[in-house]
Each structure stands twice: as C-alpha cells, then as structure tokens.
C-alpha cells in the first residue's frame, strides 16, 4: 500500500516499526497532545526543498520569491526568510504577513490581477522591490501614487503570452481567455508611453501551476525575446513566476528541478537580463506537510464503503474543488487484507471527499488515524470555516522536537465581529 512513498515524502516522513513518523516524532504522540485534524510540517524537508531549488538556479543572478499564497503561516515564512528567500505577495494581508516574518521589503514583489489603491499605496510606503503590473489603469494609478510620494516605483509588466499548459483548467493563467496579464499590444503601448515615476524594468510571465514540462517555460522566454526585439525594449528583469510541479501520487515522477533550472537559466541568459525572478510556491512546501485525521465511523455498503473522518473540505479543499488526488495512508501499517473505500469528511455536501476508492485495511475502525499527504501547498491557506468548523492547528517538527505554529481556532473565533 505505501510502496515508494519516498517519492512524496523524501526521508522526512515514513513508517518506523509500522507507525507513521514525521522526522523523529511519531504522529500518534503529536495528536495525543494536539488532537485531530491537525497539520504537521517537516522543517528539515522544507529547508531541503529550498536548498534544492536555490541550487538549481544558481548559475544566474536570481531573486527567489516564495509565493506566499501557497502557505502563509508566519512561522513557515520565517523559515523561507532565514534561508535567503524573498516573497511574492498578492494582497495587503500577505504583504503584512511577510513584513511580520521579517522579510526585507527589497525582496518582496507584489503581484495580483486586482490590487486596490490602498494595497498599492501600502506597498509603496513600505518600499517593496517591485509591482507586477497587469492592467493599463493600474500603471496609471502607480504613476499617480509615485508622484504623490515622490518615489520611483519599479514595475514589471505581466504578459499574457497565450501559452497553453498541461494542468488543471483552473490553474492555467497564461491563455488569452484568462483574466491575467497584458496582451502584447497593450504592453507595447504602455512601454512607449514613458512614465516619470513608474519605472518599467522588465516582464513577468507566470504561466500557471503544477507544470511538469519545461517546454512552456522555454516557449514563453522565446516569445519575450521576440517581443522585445519587435518593440526595441530590452528588459533588465525577467520574472518567470512559479508553477513547478510536484508528485502527488507514488506513481508520479518528480520533476528534475536541477535540469529544469539549468535549461531555464541558459534560455534566460540569451535575454541578457540583469536579474531573474522566480516565484515558486508548491515546489517548496507542497510535500512537506500532512494532515492527520481520525476515523469517526466506517460505513460498509454493498456498492461502496465509506470511511468518515474528522477532516473535511473546509480543512483541505483541493479534492473537492479541483478533483485533485492526495496520497492517503493509514497511520498504522498493516500487512492484512485491504478494501476500497471513499475517504469522506463530515461536511454536508456530497463533494466533501478527500479520496476516492482508496485502499484501506479491511479492519479499519473508529479511532484509527489517517494520514493525508501533499498538504503543504494550497491546503491550510485555502481552508475555511464552512459548517462553522474551527480551522485546525499546525505543528512543525524539527528532528525530535515539535512546536505548535498555529493554534486550533476557538469557537469564539467563529463569531468574532458578529456579536
Ligand atoms: N506566481 C503567481 C503570479 C501565481 O499566481 C502563483 C500561483 C505562483 C507564483 C505560485 O505558483 P506555484 O509555484 O505554487 O505553482 N490553488 C491551486 C493553485 C493556484 C495557484 C495560483 N497561483 C491548487 O491548489 O492547485
């Protein structure tokens, strides 16, 4: 059942004497103290991923801005910062989080298709590195705010290059049907206009998420080269965004990030830019966390078995929202017979499932623990209070130690502001 789980977990999560561990700590001990459902992160896996990513792009002058939307816990952000990363933010809330985590504003890029005036102003006041601009009206707004604050503001234009990628429809962001970026005609019009305060230094071209192929990146960089030549504007900065995919199932291949990096750097070198910006989210955190949940009930039916657990779509929405696959394992390894079951949550929706037709021990019962993998990116950060459920606690393991990095919400948090 748990064949080759190293593809997902590296050396940082796995079974020892038939029980599931995060680094040197048994999951059982953690949930005894903190209850379920509970997110658990491996600090050393996170650091390993950061280093791997950094090394892969080291042949070129680069700024690696971790994409905060993937996981925005301040304690996770601090690890990113301590390991030399900058941050990619898309809202004032994310920007405030990164400042609280101690990131230098000179390493923060502000992206987003709909930044409000207040958000732009907050970024300017805090002297962030640059804005990724997606709209003609947005750059006019930045110009006006620059005038107001007497500050030059570095801007990169986000281009919509109409490139397709092989990923979920919802996370393709560079097709012309999507709301993102500037079409090339508008971008060239903006570049010709010459602003006094909004200083356009380059281009941003995030393509989408969970990309496993290198060809869209290469195609995008080639398109930028051609575009620059056509309009006679040669960028100093190129930001290729994030999107680097990870394995979700044990059958998935890991992306060879070293090869990827090497190839992308070679292509970027042709542009003769001074700086390459990258915005990885999922690649760094995606597989460095699990959710641990308890079996509440088992429903055995002729047509289908259901294992009802205490984590639901409010805690981890990806399977319900995108139909995504997440690796699910029992906390206690068993050599006995298995059966297939849907792993479902307690929420009042049929879409509330964590896994379909998952192999589980045939004697699975109330009180057993279930491990849900691939829970580091877009899991806690997309969680909600639906069904008036409190969001879970988050625990960080570092070797033999574990610390709580976010408390489970209190019931009072649910109606804060209502009474
Ligand atoms: N930069 C920009 C401008 C982005 O929009 C994103 C992700 C990233 C960087 C980071 O992408 P990553 O390296 O993590 O793929 N909720 C979805 C993923 C949405 C991605 C949104 N943008 C999911 O759960 O799969």
Residue at which a domain ends, from 281, 316, 344? 281
Stretch 374-390: mean pLDDT, rounded? 98
Residue 60 lies in a domain: yes
Q: Is the CB of 171 under 6 A from ligand 1?
A: yes
Residue 354 domain-assigned (yes or no): yes
- 74-82 and 43-56 helices, crossing angle to 10°: 40
Q: Is 374 in the pocket of ligand 1 (CB under 6 A)?
A: no
140 shares its domain with 242 = yes
**Total domains, the chain:** 2
CA–CA separation, 338 and 355 (whole Å): 15
CATH number of the domain residue 52 falls in = 3.20.20.10
Q: For residue 364, how far is its CA from the centre of ligand 1 (angstroms)? A: 36
How many Å apart are CA 135 and CA 189, to the nearest integer?
12
Mean pLDDT in residue range 343-347: 98
Residues 272 and 363 in one domain: no
Q: Which of 49, 50, 64, 67 to mutate to test the pocket of ligand 1 (most atoms within 8 A of CB)?
A: 67
Same domain, 337 and 272: no
pLDDT of residue 3: 62
Rounded to an integer, the average pLDDT of 361-371 is 97
Task: Give the Cα separation of 321 and 388 in Å (integer).
Answer: 19
- Interatomic CA distance for residues 214 and 223, integer angstroms: 15
Cβ–ligand 1 contact at 293 (below 6 Å): no
CA of 242 to the centre of ligand 1 (A): 7
Residue 345: how many CB atoms within 10 A of its CB? Answer: 26
- Give the model's pLDDT for residue 203: 98
How many angstroms separate the alpha carbon of residue 139 from the centre of ligand 1? 23
How many angstroms is it from 377 CA to the middle of ligand 1? 9
CB-ligand 1 contact for 107 (6 Å cutoff): no
What is the domain extent for residue 193? 43-281
Mean pLDDT of 6-34: 97
* Same domain for 240 and 94: yes
- Judge whether 80 lies within some domain: yes
Tell the residue nearest (CA) to atom 7 of ligand 1: 209
Q: Are residues 179 and 321 in the same domain?
A: no
C-beta of 110 in contact with ligand 1 (< 6 A): no
Q: For residue 79, count CB atoms less than 10 angstroms from its CB and return exposed for 0-12, middle for 13-18, buried for 19 or more.
A: buried
Residue 15 lies in a domain: yes
Ligand 1 pocket residue status of 67, Cβ below 6 Å: yes
| pLDDT per residue as tens digits for the range 100-150 | 999 999 999 999 999 999 999 999 999 999 999 999 999 999 999 999 999
* The ligand 1 atom nearest the CA atom of 210: 15
Distance from Cα 214 to the centre of ligand 1, integer Å = 17
- 309 occurs within a structural domain: yes
> How confident is the model over 146-182, as pLDDT tens digits?
999 999 999 999 999 988 887 777 777 777 888 999 9
Strands 38-42 and 237-239: unpaired
Backbone phi, psi, residue 32, to 5°: -60, -40
CATH number at residue 367: 2.40.37.10
pLDDT band at 2 (very low <50, low <70, confident <90, very high): low
Residues 6+ apart with CB under 8 A from 396: 40, 41, 43, 75, 76, 402, 403, 404, 405
C-beta of 88 in contact with ligand 1 (< 6 A): yes
**Do 277 and 301 belong together in one domain?**
no
Last residue in a domain, options 264, 281, 298: 281
Residue nearest to atom 15 of ligand 1 (CA): 243
Minimal-distance CA residue to ligand 1 atom 24: 378
Distance CA 171, CA 168 (A): 6
State if residue 282 touches ligand 1 by the CB under 6 angstroms criterion: yes
Candidates 220, 261, 281, 317: which one to mutate for ligand 1, based on the most atoms within 8 Å of Cβ? 281
In a mutational test of the pocket of ligand 1, which residue from 50, 178, 209 has the highest number of ligand atoms less than 8 Å from its CB? Answer: 209
Shared-domain flag, residues 172 and 251: yes
Q: Is 419 part of a structural domain of the chain?
A: no
Residue 64 resides in a domain: yes
Q: How far, in Å, from the CA of 208 to the mean position of ligand 1?
A: 6
**246 shares a domain with 97:** yes
Q: From the CB of 380, is ligand 1 less than 6 Å away? A: no
* Ligand 1 centroid to residue 255 C-alpha, Å: 16
Share of the chain above pLDDT 90, in %: 93
Residue 396 has pLDDT above 80, yes or no: yes
Question: Do 147 and 57 belong together in one domain?
Answer: yes
Q: 12 and 156: one domain?
A: no
232 and 118 co-located in one domain: yes
Regarding whether 182 and 90 lie in a shared domain, the answer is: yes
Ligand 1 within 6 A of 243 CB?
A: yes
Question: Given this model, what pLDDT does residue 171 score?
Answer: 72
Mean pLDDT of the chain: 96
217 within domain boundaries: yes
Q: Of the candidates 250, 281, 312, which is a domain's last residue?
A: 281
Q: Active-site positions?
A: 348
């Amino acid at each position: 059942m748990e064949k080759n789980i190293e593809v997902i977990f590296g050396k940082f999560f796995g079974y020892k004497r038939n029980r599931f561990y995060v680094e040197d700590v048994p999951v059982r001990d953690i949930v005894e103290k903190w209850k379920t459902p509970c997110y658990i992160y491996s600090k050393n896996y996170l650091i390993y991923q950061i280093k791997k990513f950094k090394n892969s792009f080291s042949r070129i002058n680069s700024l690696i801005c971790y994409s905060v939307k993937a996981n925005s816990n301040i304690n996770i952000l601090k690890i990113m910062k301590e390991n030399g990363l900058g941050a990619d933010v898309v809202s004032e809330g994310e920007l405030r989080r990164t400042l609280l985590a101690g990131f230098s504003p000179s390493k923060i890029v502000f992206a987003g298709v709909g930044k409000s005036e207040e958000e732009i102003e907050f970024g300017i006041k805090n002297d962030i590195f640059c804005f990724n601009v997606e709209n003609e009206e947005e750059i006019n707004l930045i110009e006006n705010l620059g005038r107001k604050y007497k500050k030059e503001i570095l801007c990169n234009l986000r281009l919509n290059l109409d490139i397709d990628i092989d990923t979920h429809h919802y996370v393709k962001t560079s097709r012309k049907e999507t709301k993102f970026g500037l079409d090339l005609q508008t971008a060239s019009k903006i570049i010709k206009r010459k602003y006094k305060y909004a200083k356009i230094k380059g281009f941003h071209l995030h393509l989408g998420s969970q990309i496993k192929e290198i060809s869209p990146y290469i195609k995008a960089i080639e398109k930028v080269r051609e575009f620059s030549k056509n309009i006679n504007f040669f960028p100093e900065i190129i930001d290729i965004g994030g999107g680097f995919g990870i394995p979700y199932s044990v059958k998935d291949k890991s992306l060879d990030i070293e090869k990827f990096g090497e190839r992308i750097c070679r292509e970027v070198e042709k542009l003769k830019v001074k700086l390459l910006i990258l915005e990885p989210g999922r690649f760094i955190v995606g597989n460095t966390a699990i959710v641990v949940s308890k079996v509440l009930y088992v429903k055995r039916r002729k047509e289908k078995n259901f294992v009802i657990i205490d984590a639901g779509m409010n805690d981890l929405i990806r399977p319900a929202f995108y139909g995504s696959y997440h690796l699910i394992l029992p906390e206690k390894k068993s050599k006995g017979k298995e059966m297939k079951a849907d792993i479902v949550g307690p929420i009042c929706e049929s879409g509330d499932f964590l896994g379909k037709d998952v192999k589980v021990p045939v004697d699975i019962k109330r009180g057993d623990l279930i491990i849900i993998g691939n829970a580091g990116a877009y899991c806690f950060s997309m969680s909600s209070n639906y069904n008036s459920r409190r969001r879970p606690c988050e625990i960080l393991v570092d070797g033999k130690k574990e610390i709580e990095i976010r408390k489970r919400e209190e019931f009072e948090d649910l109606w804060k502001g209502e009474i």
